[in-house]
Amino acid sequence: MNQQVNSAGGAQNRTSVERKGDRELVVTRTFNAPPSTVYRAWSQPELFQRWWVPKSASGVSLVSCDMDVRTGGKYRLEFGAGGSDTMAFYGKYLEVVPNERIVWTNDEGEEGAVTTVTFEDQGGKTLLNLHEVYPSKEALEEALQGGAAALPEQLEQLGELLSSIGE
């Protein structure tokens, strides 16, 4: 079962979010930048924190961004909304192939997904594929109501960042 969930962005670089089966989510988008530049935006904390938090999540900020992007490395992202309460997301990198692929776990809960992002060269542009596999149908449903719903906006922000940083 393939179900189109959401899409955003200009007609040329549209973000496609599709549910595949009961436990999988696939997000695709083309960026007007080479894979090496798109990979840097996913793997360098100083770039990552410039686009990851959706602007529509007013008041929310990424207060801490620790990323050791290598096979066996770990990450921890801590979000805050102005008060002392923060929410952390963390996991480990299962596979990292620079400019091609990043695979990581989402370990903050029992229902965490495994996420794979690939960066495919399309003649100087990049076709990004984000694939998440959830442990249950319920975990996917919860993600579609939460963080996964922000992916089109996040990838739109990534596109804006890429146009400003170039090579």
Q: What is the distance between the alpha carbons of residues 33 and 51, in angstroms, rounded to a whole number? A: 15
Higher per-residue confidence, 87 vs 109:
87
The tally of CA atoms less than 13 A away on the side-chain side of residue 161 is 22
Residues with Cβ within 8 Å of residue 30, at least 6 apart in sequence:
12, 13, 122, 125, 126, 127, 128
Q: What is the distance between the alpha carbons of residues 66 and 76, in angstroms, rounded to a whole number? A: 5
- Tokens at residue 93, please? 């990198």
Is 91's pLDDT higher than 50? yes
| pLDDT at res. 142 | 86
pLDDT digits (tens, 9 = 90+) for 40-71: 999 999 999 999 988 888 788 889 999 999 99
CA 129 vs. chain centroid, Å, equals: 10
pTM: 0.87
Q: For each of the domains in the chain, give its residue range(s) and CATH number, in order of start.
A: 16-55+93-166 (3.30.530.20)
As a whole-number percent, the residues of the chain with pLDDT over 70 amount to 91
